[in-house]
Chain A
Amino acid sequence: MSQEYRNTLLQMMIAPTLEQTITLGMTALDQLIHPCAGALLLWDLDMERYIVGEVFVRDTTRIETQFRRDALRIAAQAYAQNKLLPRCLHQSVFYLPLNTPDANHIGAYLYEVSNQSQPLPPVIPDQEFSQAAARALWSMSRIEQADREHAELVAERERLEHLLRAVEQQQMTIDRLLTLERQFSASLEVKIEERTVALREAQARLIQSEKLAVIGQLASSLAHEINNPVQAIQSGLGLAISELESGQIQHVHDDLLMIQNELERIQTIFKQMLDFQRPATFIYRPLDLNAICEGVRILMRKKLQELQIELRLELEDGLPRTCGDSNQMKQVLINLVLNAAEAMSESGGHILIKTQSDKDHTLVSVIDNGSGIQNEHLSRLFEPLFTTKTRGLGLGLAISQEIIQNHQGSITVTSTLGEGTNFTFTLPRKEFCHDDESTSADC
């Protein structure tokens, strides 16, 4: 074996790249055997087939493209038959497998020696060549593989470092936000403390001023409620005086009785105003709602005449009984009639008190043809201290609702602007009124 061949083999063993290893391997093969065409085929582990490492074609009659195709096809067949055995496949084609000592198949040389004009001693190279070539290719391919993996790892590490930097940035942002949050919380606590003190002081001032306001409101409301019976008394006295002067003494007794009733009512109103915020006791008695309506008509007659308002009754005959407190029921009716009267224009109008019943209830309606109530006010009408009037502070309807509810009834209102309003309260029908049904307002 020539020194030149041995040097090439040595260079192949220490070649720095796979490409150079392949080229030098082919050179060594050429120096050893002088084939007319040769191919180094590499075994691809993923695809489990040969791919071309290097090809040379010395024979000008041979087409390189075709030789590559043939080499791959023939080598695949040889591998399938026996991947370990170097051999002559046809008359002039040889297959030299490259296996490492630990039986890793790294590739194969396929070469053609058809031009045998010159003596070619070893047609199949010695074992030293195939072992050296296999070892060199194996180690080089592994080094290249390792380099590739290393490069991929470096790239991956760079990506992870970017990610890490991003996370660190976020962490810094979070830390900054947390610091700010802590500072803010600390200053917030101080501020809350200060504000709490200020709020308590303001609340105390507010309570004081609200107390004064409520006292004012109650006083004003009281005056409003007392004004009605006082006017009735005034008109009763006027009637009595004129009846005395005209000698109609038989009516004076009725007038004085009416005045006495009204004085009793004033007393009751005082009591009820005082009791508004505390439980009141109702005495349940059989109620004749038609009679109560009559009484209210008599009571309101004079005042309504002055206002040119006609009060009419439409009472259901044989109205079923219900139970309740007649004074309170009367107060509800008076409140509703007064409200209706205040809704009238200066030229007067009509108020209708109507009683009716259904299977379970008795119903009393106070219907006027006054100015009506705006929609947005309807839902608030029964709130204490809500009023749309310049006089009065809105306790009348709140008290009325409370009274009706304490009788297990309900009160509703419907209204059309410019046409009038209908307040209807409903009470349950009751055959018997037991003492144990007496209840308190807050039950």
Chain B
Amino acid sequence: MKASISVALNNHNQGELCGRDAARQALGNMSEGDVSFALLFVSHPQPAQVLKGIQSVLGHVPLIGATSAGEYTQEGYVEDGVGLMLIRHNHIRFHPLHYQKRLFRIGSLLGQLRGRTEEGLRSAYHHRTLMLFPDDASTSLNRLVDKAVEETAMLYNIIGGPSPTIAMPPRLPLLFYNNRLFHAGLAGAEILSLYPVGTALANGWTPISGPYRITKVDDHHVVKIDGRPAKEIYEDFALEQGMYRDSELSREFILRHPLGICQTGNCKVNLVMGFDPHGALQMTSPPPLNSLVHILETQPKAMMTAAQRAIQQAVVGLEGRQAAGALFIDCMSTAMVLETTYQQQRATVQSELGDIPFLGFRSHGVLARLKGQISGHYECSVGACMFPAEDVHP
């Protein structure tokens, strides 16, 4: 039985029909054999109905996923729709897992990972990846990655995307785990593979100012930079750039100039959402206290190149095998930064992946712990996870 991955996209306005049609289409695109695993991303306003529709076709196929701001495949892009990926593999083992905050057991976020216990280090399935889809509101995403790194004993690559809280129209982040739909927690999967899984993360941001020292921080604010109210640093920067003419810094300006911790040419990007009355920066994942940060900038072309780079790095990660399919995790803020050129980025992804079936979804950033990169929650970045085929690359 060879590996097979199929994807489907649907935006029927009735949730159940939307889910059912997507599942039928994905099954139809798949060669014969049982489905091992399903990844589901939903921007439809009726996620529960979508799940019901999908289950009416797929039955008890293990499934994880999250709500998102939009999904795309080779077929196009949808908002208020669903993106579904079906995977059939005999050389990858998927073990779905979930965690709900109200059921939190101290000391265990991920539960018993089979790669550490049952399968063991001697297992032939020794290429370990952890895929995580948490909600973006109930916990610190940087800490969540740290916790996952600890619980996996640094034996796993980690890649994932938080389900976003959407302001307009207001939608809470929700997570899918088999037949369940819940919020506040995470859905994920332990992926144990005979062959390397290609994971990569990239962005097109470069430092334009700094470094600065983070001198006061809390869970969602950078209060002081260089001992000064953080807003002052942005005001000085805007003056230097000749961009600070009004009394208030524009939203566009701060969106296009996030903070980043940069090492060896890579920057971990964290967006500034605004300022509080005391001049603190409002952020989903502030850099840690005492870290050195830069103010970053980007160009649309650089972001498109970054998408290509993520795919190319993921292909390199496959170590010569062909890709059976790819999951593309795309921070929803990318579209805000790129505006009209966002479509070009999707087209770049599509042309780079060629015939490889892929599913992209718009998350609130990317969670990553990858070799040679800072672990944590990246915003305005792209993550790629490429599943290996059995065939080696010609």
Contact = CB atoms under 8 A, between A and B. Distances in A.
The winner among B120, B122, B215 for most chain A CB atoms within 10 A is B120
A46 B211 CA distance: 9
B234 to A, nearest CB: 12
A310 interface: no
B153 interface: yes
A69 interface: yes
A316 B227 CA distance: 113
A163 interface: yes
A169 B116 contact: yes
Contacts of A53: 227
Interface residues of A, number: 24
A199 interface: no
Interface stretch (A170-178, A187-195, A373-381): A170-178
Contacts of B344: none
- Tier of interface size on chain B: 20 to 34
B227 A173 contact: no
Interface string A284-309: 00000000000000000000000000
A169 B226 CA distance: 45
A51 B229 CA distance: 12
Contacts of A173: 117, 120-122
Nearest to B122: A174
A170 B154 contact: no
B292 A46 contact: yes
Interface in A38-73: 42, 44, 46-47, 51-54, 65, 68-69
Interface in B277-325: 290, 292
Interface string B114-143: 001100111000000000000000000000
B240 interface: no
Contacts of A44: 213, 226
Contacts of A177: 120, 122
B153 A52 contact: no
Contacts of A65: 229, 232
The winner among A54, A69, A158, A170 for most chain B CB atoms within 10 A is A170
A313 interface: no
A52 B226 CA distance: 6
Contact of A174 (B121, B226, B227, B236): B121
A68 B213 contact: no
Contacts of A166: 116, 153, 155
B228 interface: yes
Interface in A150-174: 158-159, 162-163, 165-167, 169-170, 173-174
A425 to B, nearest CB: 46
A159 B154 contact: yes
B117 A169 contact: yes
Contacts of B153: 159, 162-163, 165-167
A47 B122 CA distance: 47
A148 interface: yes
Contacts of B213: 44, 46-47, 51
Contacts of B228: 51-52, 68
Given A47-B213, A166-B155, A68 B232 contact: yes
Contacts of A52: 226-228
Nearest to A53: B227
Contacts of B116: 166, 169-170
Contacts of A69: 232, 236
B219 interface: no
A72 to B, nearest CB: 8
Interface in B150-185: 150-151, 153-155
A4 B228 CA distance: 29
Given A162-B153, A165-B153, A166-B116, A42 B290 contact: no
Contacts of B290: 148
A54 B216 CA distance: 13
A375 to B, nearest CB: 30
Contacts of A170: 116, 120-122
Give 10 nearest A-B pairs by CB, closest first.
A52-B227, A166-B153, A170-B121, A51-B226, A173-B120, A163-B153, A51-B227, A162-B153, A162-B150, A166-B116
30 contacts: A44-B213, A46-B213, A46-B292, A47-B212, A47-B213, A51-B213, A51-B228, A54-B227, A68-B228, A69-B232, A159-B149, A159-B154, A162-B150, A162-B151, A162-B153, A163-B153, A163-B155, A165-B153, A166-B116, A167-B121, A167-B153, A169-B116, A169-B117, A170-B121, A170-B122, A173-B117, A173-B121, A174-B120, A174-B122, A177-B122
Given A51-B228, A65-B232, A69-B236, 18 more contacts: A44-B213, A44-B226, A46-B211, A46-B213, A47-B213, A51-B226, A51-B227, A65-B229, A69-B232, A148-B290, A159-B149, A159-B154, A166-B155, A167-B121, A169-B116, A170-B121, A173-B122, A174-B121
Interface of A: 42, 44, 46-47, 51-54, 65, 68-69, 148, 158-159, 162-163, 165-167, 169-170, 173-174, 177
